[in-house]
């Protein structure tokens, strides 16, 4: 589990420039299966030699199709919420370093104890140098801050914010409303949030879709974002995995890459035939 995910859980305890349209035949407010066109600069970043180790997971995470669907261009200012282990940070660092801007957005820990606040502040402080090392770029090209201390000059300046497999932590930590509203403040008037999230079955019980097992229902996420000031632009099935039953007793962490509870290599091999989780890939525009 990433350091930020741990911080989110701790908070719950303590608080009880490019971008031609990537979506073919898209109409705002309607789910659809989109034909996704990948920008050559993005394709080059995905294929970059610095991603040699990370690329093994591309088969599951479809980063080229995902970022293209989110209409992320190389000249944009992009916020990555809950950077965690850095898998997307490394790719975005390569893609945006030349002409764009990558900003790590860390959770608002103002309701947590001083130790937890200090941990998040330290993580944010380290983020620019970490991404710089991964992307082999100057640290000045990257920045980070906590949503609890948003600088005034950052508000209304972001083209995109990405929330990658983190919505369940916001929901189960009871901080989703606060965090999403803070992200909305950061976006330009036409800015958008892209969400990739482990997907529960449409008829899943509350216990299987409240975030405690990593899964959320797609309709619930869409409604939540609409209530919090966003228009649903559309969805992609790039990260769908029909092999995932999404009802693991131990949660999504049963599957790769965590393999929680796997007793031996044979069990891991069986889980590998399923792959990573079934995921929704949703795009929302800031509503005026």
pLDDT attached to residue 10: 46
Distances 13 to 109, 111, 118, 136, 178 between C-alpha atoms, Å: 12, 10, 16, 38, 16
**How far, in Å, CA of 143 to CA of 151, rounded?**
12
Per the structure, the complete domain to which residue 81 belongs is given by 3-286
Contact 36, 65 (CB under 8 A): yes
pLDDT attached to residue 116: 86
**How far, in Å, CA of 257 to CA of 278, rounded?**
13
Mean pLDDT by 10-residue block, N- to C-terminus, for the chain (288 residues)?
46 39 47 72 97 96 98 98 94 96 95 88 96 94 96 98 98 96 98 98 97 98 98 98 97 97 96 98 97
- The structural domain count of the chain equals 1
pLDDT attached to residue 84: 83
pLDDT attached to residue 29: 56
pLDDT attached to residue 36: 84
pLDDT attached to residue 110: 85
pLDDT attached to residue 24: 39
pLDDT attached to residue 28: 61
pTM of the model: 0.89
Give the CATH number for residue 59. Answer: 3.40.50.150
CA angle 170, 72, 129 (to 5 degrees): 70
pLDDT attached to residue 80: 98
């Amino acid at each position: 589990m990433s350091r930020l995910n741990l911080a989110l859980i701790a908070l719950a305890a303590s608080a009880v420039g490019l971008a031609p349209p990537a979506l073919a035949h898209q109409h705002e407010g309607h789910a659809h299966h989109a034909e996704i066109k990948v920008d050559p600069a993005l394709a080059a970043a995905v294929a970059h030699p610095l991603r040699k180790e990370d690329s093994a997971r591309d088969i599951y995470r479809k980063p080229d199709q995902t970022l293209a669907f989110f209409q992320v261009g190389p000249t944009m200012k992009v916020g990555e919420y809950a950077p965690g282990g850095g898998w997307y940070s490394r790719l975005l660092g390569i893609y945006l370093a030349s002409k764009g801007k990558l900003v790590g957005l860390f959770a608002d820990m103002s309701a947590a104890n001083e130790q937890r606040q200090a941990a998040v502040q330290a993580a944010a402080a380290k983020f620019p140098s970490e991404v710089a090392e991964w992307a082999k770029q100057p640290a000045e090209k990257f920045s980070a801050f906590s949503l609890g201390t948003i600088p005034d000059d950052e508000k209304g300046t972001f083209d995109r914010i990405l929330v990658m497999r983190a919505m369940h932590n916001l929901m189960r930590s009871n901080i989703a409303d606060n965090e999403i509203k803070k992200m909305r403040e950061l976006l330009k008037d036409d800015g958008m949030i892209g969400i990739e999230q482990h997907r529960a079955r449409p008829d899943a019980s509350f216990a299987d879709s409240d975030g405690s097992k990593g899964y959320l229902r797609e309709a619930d996420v869409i409604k939540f974002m609409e209530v919090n000031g966003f228009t649903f632009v559309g969805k992609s099935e790039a990260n769908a995995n029909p092999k995932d039953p999404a009802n693991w007793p131990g949660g999504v962490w049963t599957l790769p890459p965590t393999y929680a509870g796997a007793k031996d290599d044979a069990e891991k091999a069986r889980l590998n035939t399923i792959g990573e989780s079934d995921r929704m890939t949703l795009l929302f525009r800031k509503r005026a």
